[in-house]
Structure 1
Amino acid sequence: MRHPTAAADLPDRLWRAVADGDEYAAADVLHTAAADGVDEETLLLEVIAPVQERTGTEWAAGRISVAQEHAATAINERVVASLAHRRTASEHLAPHHGRVTVGCVDGEWHAFPARLVAEVLRLRGWRVDYLGARTPTAHLVAHLHLTNPDAVLLSASLPTHLSAAHAAVTACQAIGVPVLAGGRAFGADGRLARLLGADRWAADARGAAAALKAGLARPGPAAIRQVADDLPHLVDQEYTMVAQSRPVLVRQTLAGLEARFPAMRGYDDAQREHTAEDLAHIVDFLAAALYVDDPEVFTAFLTWTADILEARHVPARSLLLGLDILAEQLREFPRALGLLREGSAAVPDRPTGPVPGPHLPA
């Protein structure tokens, strides 16, 4: 039974403990609430999840450091585990639905959303094999051969991992295991999950539980397919060329910025490193947008990046200049040029302050 009124102030209380780096205070907030009758699913999805979201927002706004963000995430992960450990042995050993595998696609470090899904499914009676972050597709498939689950739930937060997600989706379906996709990488409406051939998409943990309860049909032999079967636009090779040219594109764009943006001449080593990292992420997101042929993948990242630059007191016009220099290098790539033009047009219309978005790798 839920007690939403009793839980109303819990996110703020948990945030204060997490922001102070006090794991024990954080656990006490949750354990006391549980003892007072707030159910575990509410604590997971309506208390811990918003605090984790706030952690990312505070980092994006420049109010906490990368180290503080990592520390906050570690505390949230440990309090999730502490709640799970309050369950009795009989609760752990008595799943009354089927078996599922939950994990992140190869390369995806942001495992917290998948962890919340795994815990909610356990609470709802599923036997869950939780594989955590960046699960190599070959190892995932080997695990599925051993366990023969009813479904595999694949999580991806960053669109830069969509090609890995696509490979995982097709590999799982090829051995007869249906795929339920989730995470921000697939779009707010799940359109990219459908594009990549996933059997279902869910916006959150409760949606995933509902989809599993409704049932996912096992794929037949027709599920064995090639990448171009889902994404025929890839025959132009633009994605492959941009992805493979990443180091050269970053190096040449950085050199162009140094020549045309005078402020960069006064950058220290740390600022130069940040700039190179930002350029690398821009190229990665450009490649991701090319992979799925979806401009929003690129423009959403650019508007968010512009706000991050402003939070660092770096003018967003430097981003526009970088896009121009990239366009000069990619003048033989019509789809890439189109994306760069749309990205440049989107940046001036960004929100006035930092907004929640995908976390860049620290």
Structure 2
Amino acid sequence: PPTRPGLILVGCPPEEEHAFGPLLLTLLLRRRGWRVVYLGAAVPVHRMATTLQSIEPDLVVMSAQRLHTAATLLDMASALQKQHIPLAFGGRIFNQLPELTTRFHGYFLGRTLTESLHTIERLVNETPPALLDISPVTEAHRQAAAHFQRRRPLIEADIVRLLPDSPLADMPPAHLATANRELGNDLFAALKLGDVHFVQSDVSWVEGMIQNYNLPAAELHLYLTLYRRAAQTHLGETCQPVLDWLAQQASQ
């Protein structure tokens, strides 16, 4: 049974399925006497809102591993801020891109499990320190994210149309759908988080996927070139950062 006062909620933001870290953190906190409610993977923002109607946590802890789930965490952070509930967050993507931590109204847990435990206990035991100023996402990036999301189905349909006449003609449809989904998610997330270059951190994921499918390394270059061709048709100046990033990748 809990031996310390306070209530901590632990889980993952929307679409984040990697829940081992938060589950392990929950078990360790409970062993140290804390009352912890484990919410699991991919917690929708509306479910969190419903939960907060029945309980009043002292702290919410969220873990994001991928760029696109860091973007969904942004929505969760905003919802918690409106209810004046402190958020502590961490995960692999924040270790890869430390500058991402400045986008969130909350406390960074740290790079390791041990640091996370100490941060949580300090936040619940003591008066939380003042939050650092966040780096707001510009209106231009918000508009670019919305524009990209509207045009994204057209880009992906165009890639399917162009594929038979490209060097990637033999790519299985399921592999193409996965590549389109992952790159599209990351481009949208990077714009939503305020810097398209954040996508670079997840390009290695696509490279790993290509290796797992035993495809030539050149497949990534060919795919990005094809994506750029479709994007040039459907994206305007609003999404120029995306076009510039794709041009840079295709030229490498």
- The interval holding the TM-score normalised by the smaller chain is 0.7 to 0.9
8 Å CA contact 2:66, 2:202 repeated in 1: no
Q: Which residue of 2 aligns with 1:247?
A: 153
Residue 177 of structure 1 pairs with residue 85 of structure 2: yes
Which protein is bigger by CA-based radius of gyration? 1
Distance 1:286 1:257 in 2: 21
Matched to 2:147, the amino acid is M
Cα deviation for residue 212 of structure 1 reads 1.9
- Secondary structure of 1:153's partner? strand
Q: Which residue of 1 aligns with 2:230?
A: 329
8 Å CA contact 2:22, 2:63 repeated in 1: yes
Match of 1:238 among 119, 127, 144: 144
Q: Which residue of 2 aligns with 1:318?
A: 219
* Runs (5+) with no aligned partner, structure 2: none
Matched to 1:287, the amino acid is F
- Secondary structure of 2:8's partner? strand
- Secondary structure of 1:251's partner? helix
8 Å CA contact 1:151, 1:179 repeated in 2: yes
Q: Which residue of 2 aligns with 1:94?
A: 2
Cα deviation for residue 249 of structure 1 reads 1.7
TM, length-normalised to structure 2: 0.84
Q: Which residue of 2 aligns with 1:82?
A: none
Q: Which residue of 2 aligns with 1:198?
A: 106
Matched to 1:246, the amino acid is R
- Structure 2 matches for 1:204-243, cutoff 5 A? 204-215=112-123, 217=127, 230-234=136-140, 237-243=143-149
Pair 234,201 (structure 1): closer, same or farther in 2 beyond 3 Å: farther
- Secondary structure of 1:119's partner? helix
- Secondary structure of 1:180's partner? strand
Q: Which residue of 1 aligns with 2:186?
A: 285
Identify the structure with bigger relative contact order (alpha carbons < 8 Å, sequence gap 6+).
2
Cα deviation for residue 302 of structure 1 reads 1.7
Distance 1:278 1:182 in 2: 26
Matched to 1:310, the amino acid is Q
Cα deviation for residue 145 of structure 1 reads 3.5
8 Å CA contact 2:196, 2:242 repeated in 1: no
Distance 2:165 2:97 in 1: 42
Pair 107,316 (structure 1): closer, same or farther in 2 beyond 3 Å: same
* Runs (5+) with no aligned partner, structure 1: 1-92, 223-227, 349-362
Give CA-to-partner distance per residue, 1:212-251, whole Å, 9 cap, x none: 222265699x9xxxxx982114456111122233322222
Give CA-to-partner distance per residue, 1:4-63, whole Å, 9 cap, x none: xxxxxxxxxxxxxxxxxxxxxxxxxxxxxxxxxxxxxxxxxxxxxxxxxxxxxxxxxxxx
Give CA-to-partner distance per residue, 1:170-214, whole Å, 9 cap, x none: 111211111000112334364313212223333233222111222
- Secondary structure of 2:37's partner? strand
Distance 1:318 1:94 in 2: 53
